[in-house]
Structure 1
């Protein structure tokens, strides 16, 4: 029953967009309002959070457009400027391509539904990860810059037979920064960034998954230059012909192959970026579509040293440069994610010390800090007692020290095994290149 509300809403939206484009604002306004009512009712019943989010986004878009039209109608003007930025920004993307003739009626609501489902894949906010935040991986960063930034900023470089790279596969052990690198690309590139997971593209409805893949590439071409990032691509594109392969997954793979081939389309400005922890699980035809396959290895000594500094940030600490070097030497075999977890744990050490402390001293600026009994000015008191005296806001944990790190590292082990590394190194020798 409730799916009728959505279909009814889409029908009203189509009519509203047609009237809007024709400049009949007095007719478009009530149609938008009807659509919004139906969308609102549908949202009450919709259980799928992805669809809910996509519909809410559309709802906001149409509401904004309706408000613009109402403002103009109230002023008695002819209507919002068709070429104005605001009109373009809120122009619904689901508008019928041919003015909504009889033949297109069955097609457009379906297309609108697929696009609404994929809309949440577009990253509109920049993740704010700069190239410098990514430790090491110089050749991977250089290759991505060649593919992503140069073609947009310096299109004149790519003339004759020189073409930018079209598909990148980032592979390596878990936690080495493949997705982090993709975030840096999203921040630094002046492109539309689509970040999709396998769950975005797999539908329980027969035949819908490959339409989603096709719609994704269509949206990327329309908003080029754009980047499609597929995380954990192995879950979508395992080896064909395996016993546990479903009919749906075979069709997704075929559609992905066709779209990546780009037959009949101008895909010069669409870059596909994918990440996997298990490159051998990938179907070989898919693997061949990635013209750049870059190994993202465990961080080296210098990169680990940089990571400790980045994760500590501006948290008060008293570590010297040689302390950071010594930490990097002690964490041979740690992945970027292992170091992140280690620092997260260390950040709580001063808090634990403050909670357990029996003695505190008062700093010159009136703050209370934990200390040993022999410290000059030490007062025997606990954190709870200080808080009881109304001094909760005056308690300060001590700065992080090297011993805090030693304590945490004594109980932490790297998560990537030697066998894992050997698999990736073998794949690099056969098919890849070093990052």
Structure 2
């Protein structure tokens, strides 16, 4: 008994939650083979899919089960909840606990990602013991992202221009910056107007800083300050680091 308790104390976490605003790369960080869906319109099919998922994971362990938008299946319980949803949730939690197999021998990691950690059921949070906040990209990350997006493009931007872009894109997510760069890359083509068809590729001007300024009138940050504040507050209360 003492050995079992000690093993549980020193064992690595079997549940990890990545949470934060959309577009910050949570899914990219955890990219893996995954089941396309765990829900079904047929009664009992959802539970069967969950059992199958965990069975396959145990047969091929060590394994990582990644569930994107985990809040969609482990949302906080309510009186109006559909019975099929409740049964799916119960089956998932049972399988997670390993009640149908030797939990101590399992080498499984359940990795969940969500933009709505506030909606997760408390029973799910107890099992996802590591809760890691993935914030919006900081300046160094934004600089690296701009440099990566432009490395294969013809452009006239200097390092000082990239520094300026980093400054004016405070509050942009990774996906926002990608969309911004894509929009800016169309600037040289749009400037040709009717001459586009007759202009050789090598004569199309490079992307300039002005193209990004124009693109920013179209591509705006997708995450509000209020939403960010809610993530920061939740992270302080429930996040692993506590800050």
Q: TM-score, normalised by structure 1?
A: 0.51
The answer on 1:235 being equivalent to 2:42 is no
Whole-angstrom CA distance in 1 between matches of 2:171 and 2:196: 39
2:225 matched residue in structure 1: 418
8 Å CA contact 1:350–1:400 kept in 2: the answer is yes
List alignment gaps of at least 5 residues for structure 2. Answer: 1-6
The answer on 1:171 being equivalent to 2:8 is no
Whole-angstrom CA distance in 2 between matches of 1:242 and 1:178: 31
Cα separation, partners in 2 of 1:292 and 1:160, compared to 1, 3 Å: closer
2:238 matched residue in structure 1: 431
8 Å CA contact 1:164–1:268 kept in 2: the answer is no
The answer on 1:304 being equivalent to 2:147 is no
Cα separation, partners in 2 of 1:201 and 1:160, compared to 1, 3 Å: closer
CA-CA distance at 1:321 after TM superposition = 1.6
CA-CA distance at 1:397 after TM superposition = 2.1
Cα separation, partners in 2 of 1:268 and 1:397, compared to 1, 3 Å: farther
1:400 matched residue in structure 2: 207
Cα separation, partners in 2 of 1:242 and 1:332, compared to 1, 3 Å: farther
The answer on 1:334 being equivalent to 2:149 is no
The answer on 1:211 being equivalent to 2:59 is no
Whole-angstrom CA distance in 1 between matches of 2:154 and 2:228: 36
The answer on 1:260 being equivalent to 2:96 is yes
CA deviations on 1:92-150 (whole Å, 9 max, x unpaired) are xxxxxxxxxxxxxxxxxxxxxxxxxxxxxxxxxxxxxxxxxxxxxxxxxxxxxxxxxxx
8 Å CA contact 1:232–1:276 kept in 2: the answer is yes
The structure 1 segments of at least 4 consecutive aligned residues displaced by more than 6 Å after TM superposition are none
CA-CA distance at 1:417 after TM superposition = 0.9
CA-CA distance at 1:217 after TM superposition = 0.4
Whole-angstrom CA distance in 1 between matches of 2:54 and 2:8: 26
2:29 matched residue in structure 1: 181
CA deviations on 1:269-288 (whole Å, 9 max, x unpaired) are 21111111111111110111
1:201 corresponds to which of 29, 32, 38: 38
Cα separation, partners in 2 of 1:335 and 1:383, compared to 1, 3 Å: closer
8 Å CA contact 1:194–1:226 kept in 2: the answer is no
The answer on 1:250 being equivalent to 2:86 is yes
Q: TM-score, normalised by structure 2?
A: 0.88
CA-CA distance at 1:242 after TM superposition = 4.0
Larger Rg: 1
- Aligned counterparts, 1:266-277, within 5 A: 266=103, 268-277=106-115
CA-CA distance at 1:337 after TM superposition = 1.1
- The count of corresponding residues between Structure 1 and Structure 2 is 234
8 Å CA contact 2:189–2:196 kept in 1: the answer is no
CA-CA distance at 1:218 after TM superposition = 0.3
CA deviations on 1:336-364 (whole Å, 9 max, x unpaired) are 111111011111112222345xxxxxxxx
Whole-angstrom CA distance in 1 between matches of 2:18 and 2:235: 11
1:275 counterpart SS class: strand
Cα separation, partners in 2 of 1:241 and 1:160, compared to 1, 3 Å: closer
List alignment gaps of at least 5 residues for structure 1. Answer: 1-158, 184-192, 357-381
